[in-house]
Structure 1
Amino acid sequence: MSHSFPNAEDPAHDWQMSKDYLQDCTRHILQNRMFTDCQFKVQAKSSPMQFFEAHRLILTIASPVFEKMFYGIMAEKNQPIVVEDIEPEVFKALLEYIYTGDINLESSDYYYELYYAAKKYMLPFLQKKCIIVIQENINTTNACKGYEFAELFEESSLMEYCLEVISRRTENVLSEANLKDIKLNTIITILDQDCLNVRSEMTLFNAVTICAKNNNKDKDTKPLNERGKHQSLLREALQKIRFLIMTPKEFAEGPALSDLLTKFEKFDILMNISSPASTVAMPSGFSTSTTSRKMYNDCWGRGYYNRY
């Protein structure tokens, strides 16, 4: 890598004189690749490879990870430094934040990955900024995805916010298009909520069915332990469905036609729906609740639809 130095005889040599703040200077040397002494080769699976030049000292000041990378016992000797788990556009945004304090990303979806990059390089202030943007952009389309992200990185406030959106707009959130790649664990968490805005428990049963189908793709190629875990989670989800608040017609036209329940379970459930005084017991572990879930406004007050 060649080092770039300004020409002392160039009239633009005194470029620092036109800058009001130190960050204006660091922005200038980043954009013009001046005095650079390290290089990153960034290539995620979905994007073409890009190279980025930077300054060891500036990165070290910003991050203890970069400090160990450049000046620690196991200092990185190779040039360029290879980065394979971050998209080039996101890595560029990471550098720009370190040098300027600004974040420039075209899509709010990139903030999930920028958060990951900030966590990887131990930049807590950037993590906080990413969480703010992610939360501001949570809606019915991505609430489940946002919840899973927050759970993975133990961001409790974002988890709570996503569950709030899910509880308020449950019917929209649990549409088939929004459940692509959503885990059964997330559906189980939703089923644990007593306050959900659903017209019928069938909405929740359909969500379980969709996720079971999505999670069951390529099941024959999955290890036995993963298949076993999937079945265990599916059973747990089904046991949280409040079948007893369904009408006989709803059950007959929905769950009774599904292959998620055995014929014995279908019979036992239908007997209990049709006749509350039935001596037939519900299948072991299944919900015996006959209470409909509360509408969200009954739990937390009225007027919330104005916000979403």
Structure 2
Amino acid sequence: MDPIIDWQISRHDIKSRGQYLLETGKWADCHFLVGQEPNHQMLAGHKLILAMASPVFEAMFYGGLAEKNDPIPILDLDPSAFKSLLEYIYTDKISINSVDKACELCYGAKKYMLPHVVEQCITFLWSDLCPKNVCRAYEFAKLFEEPRLMEKCLQIMCTKTLDVIQDSNFEDVELSTIVTILDQAVLNIDSELNLFWAINKYAEKHGLCVSRSSETNQQNIDQDSNSSPQSPIDVDIEAPPSNNLPQRNSTTGLVNNEQAGAVMVPVANAVRQQELPTIRDAIRRVRFLSLTPQQFADGPARTNLLTQSEAFAILMNISTSNSCYPMPEGFTTNKSPRNAFSESSSSPVPGPSGVSTTHRPGVSGPSPSGIFPQHVPPPQPAPLPTKSFPAPVPAPIPPAHPESVESPFFSDYLEEIRNNDSNYDRKYYCRRIMRQQTECLNTSVLDCSLTFIVDRSVCITGIEVPTQVQGSTIVGNDRYSELLYAHLLDAHGSRLTYTHCNQRVQFNSMLEISFDRPVFIQRNKMYKIGVVFNKVGWYPVSQSVTKVNCDNVGFTFCVGSQSESVRDNFIRTIVFTYTRDGIVYP
């Protein structure tokens, strides 16, 4: 008996047989080129096995116009993550040994609609959270709309802040995560200097500093200037992180739009480039006014994260409560220490070279030359340290950006509706008026987006999109299987909610899609809806008006630059309500 020919005999279950096919590539009828050059890999697969596990693979191989390319490029997944997906499909095994692996695997599982793998990834992240990986896990939870995981991560950030910001991995987090930490009212730190030096270290690693030698006024921060090799490099610190900053494919949502069956879509790249948080957004959130004049003069004032005029104005505001110098524009005026987890605010805080920046009361050090007065008012004595620690107070979970905050006005407004309108939870349909309808053919993936603003705060619950136009080749069958993905973004490009749709629908009709959760949006703020159709076929297109009024709510469509609204007429209706029942704020 030839063991190579009769390999089936020694394998007694479907898992071991699937493992053999996966490892050997025997009978493979498709191939995938996975990853980016020069680290891409060629992996073999079997269409039937893949389609049995994933509706995306089913559409890719057995749809109306099945994928003809071989190999099929998959550029947005790491080869190891795609191998793990194949291992699950062929053998039911799920191998997760790190947070990075869990995030990458979960991205692929969401893309190819493998919900069991997604659940296992989330479970692993819950069990492995620690200060070393909590920022990475938070970014993952924010991207994939896992509010409970976001809350858990943020609690760790607040209760173990020093461990989080002093870990080497903190230098590789997204700036939006740093801004989220700085937005918290309660953190486990000794003083704001802990936060400032962490930001300073981050900025130095990524070249996000301003040269004071080139400063003539505050507006120069936003301008590029020429510098010789001998002079300090002037960097636009108002710019978002460049491509060499930590930007992981598995957390950006970048995919190959020409790949048939792709479910995940680009996340408003043009908006992201314009609206990403900058290092300045982080600096402006540091509560400098909670420091003593000596701490500020010997620490933040000596760095390149503040211009001379900013440093001088901040020092004047620290030194006196009625300074004639206003705080620099955008900087917080909050004077309250947020180190509520420790009663001691006089513990030494190491500076950039490890030197303590806490000094004895009444002893002043040298001031930076040419910036500050020589006579700096001495700091007030700090309270004596105590060994008692109050119970941790969980910080409120902030939304991705300020416009999704539930304001007191909105709460009062909802209460008024409840008291005066028994139908306050009714849904409303803002339907766009369509003209000059024609048809277009989707050959693989059809990506659409629509920007809009409203003149009254509402809750967006879903959208309506048109279904395919019935062709002559399918007469007698009035339904087909639609496959699409939709999401709602804010002006910063952060995803507020999303949904997948995989169901049989009627031709020549409208399909209502409900988002995973309603989202409260503020008036006069720009938002963006994105939809990607993954089903091959003909769809109706037309022109539409830019303004629609519905139940006293005015919608304005296609706002911002022209590139932000692409094939906007595929999004026919925005569904909204005034109730907050069911809303889960991130």
Q: TM-score range by the shorter chain?
A: 0.7 to 0.9
How much has 1:196 moved relative to structure 2?
0.7
Alpha carbon RMSD of aligned pairs, Å?
Answer: 3.5
Q: 2:301 aligns with which of 256, 271, 277?
A: 256
Q: Distance in 2 between matches of 1:194 and 1:217?
A: 26
Q: Distance in 2 between matches of 1:155 and 1:231?
A: 21
Q: Distance in 1 between matches of 2:277 and 2:103?
A: 30
Q: Distance in 1 between matches of 2:170 and 2:394?
A: 26
How much has 1:170 moved relative to structure 2?
0.8
* Residues 111 and 44 of structure 1: CA distance in aligned 2, closer, same or farther (over 3 Å): farther
Post-superposition Cα deviations, 1:241-299, rounded to whole Å, max 9, x if no partner, equal 11111122210111111232232322232222223354544333322222211228441
**Match in the other structure for 1:285:** 330
**Match in the other structure for 1:26:** 18
Give secondary structure in 1 for the equivalent of 2:73: strand
Give secondary structure in 1 for the equivalent of 2:157: helix
Post-superposition Cα deviations, 1:69-90, rounded to whole Å, max 9, x if no partner, equal 1111231123333333323322
Identify the range of structure 1 (239-248 vs 228-237) with the bigger mean alpha-carbon deviation: 228-237
Contact 1:184 1:211 in 2 (8 A): no
Amino acid at match of 2:77: I
**Match in the other structure for 1:160:** 151
Post-superposition Cα deviations, 1:228-247, rounded to whole Å, max 9, x if no partner, equal 96997333322221111112
**Match in the other structure for 1:137:** 128
Post-superposition Cα deviations, 1:114-145, rounded to whole Å, max 9, x if no partner, equal 11211221212211211222332232222222
Q: 1:150 aligns with which of 128, 141, 157?
A: 141
**Match in the other structure for 1:187:** 178
Q: Is residue 2:76 matched to residue 1:77?
A: no
Q: Distance in 1 between matches of 2:157 and 2:291?
A: 22
How much has 1:300 moved relative to structure 2?
4.1
- Correspondence 1:60-75 to 2 at 5 A: 60-75=51-66
Contact 1:42 1:84 in 2 (8 A): yes
Q: Distance in 1 between matches of 2:208 and 2:319?
A: 35
Q: Distance in 2 between matches of 1:279 and 1:98?
A: 68
Q: 2:280 aligns with which of 227, 235, 253?
A: 235
Q: Is residue 2:87 matched to residue 1:42?
A: no
Q: Distance in 1 between matches of 2:95 and 2:308?
A: 56
How much has 1:208 moved relative to structure 2?
2.4
Contact 2:138 2:153 in 1 (8 A): yes
Post-superposition Cα deviations, 1:180-223, rounded to whole Å, max 9, x if no partner, equal 2323222111111111100011011122223333444699899x
Post-superposition Cα deviations, 1:141-181, rounded to whole Å, max 9, x if no partner, equal 22222222322333323322221221111112112622223
Contact 1:151 1:159 in 2 (8 A): yes
**Match in the other structure for 1:57:** 48
* Residues 235 and 43 of structure 1: CA distance in aligned 2, closer, same or farther (over 3 Å): closer
**Match in the other structure for 1:304:** none
Q: Is residue 2:112 matched to residue 1:124?
A: no
Q: Distance in 1 between matches of 2:66 and 2:204?
A: 47
Q: 2:393 aligns with which of 293, 299, 304?
A: 299
Contact 1:242 1:287 in 2 (8 A): yes
TM-score where L is the length of structure 2: 0.44
Amino acid at match of 1:79: D
Which ranges in structure 1 are unaligned for 5 or more consecutive residues? Answer: 1-5, 302-308
Contact 1:191 1:237 in 2 (8 A): yes
Q: Distance in 2 between matches of 1:90 and 1:109?
A: 10
Amino acid at match of 1:160: E
How much has 1:34 moved relative to structure 2?
4.7
Higher relative contact order (CA 8 A, sep 6+): 2
Q: Distance in 1 between matches of 2:207 and 2:288?
A: 23
What is the total number of aligned residue pairs between the two structures? 291
* Residues 60 and 13 of structure 1: CA distance in aligned 2, closer, same or farther (over 3 Å): closer
TM-score where L is the length of structure 1: 0.79
* Residues 207 and 98 of structure 1: CA distance in aligned 2, closer, same or farther (over 3 Å): same
Contact 2:158 2:394 in 1 (8 A): no
Amino acid at match of 1:299: V
Greater share of strand residues, 1 or 2? 2
Of all paired residues, the percent bearing the same amino acid is 40
* Residues 157 and 216 of structure 1: CA distance in aligned 2, closer, same or farther (over 3 Å): farther
**Match in the other structure for 2:556:** none
* Residues 215 and 74 of structure 1: CA distance in aligned 2, closer, same or farther (over 3 Å): farther
Contact 1:183 1:215 in 2 (8 A): no
Greater share of helix residues, 1 or 2? 1
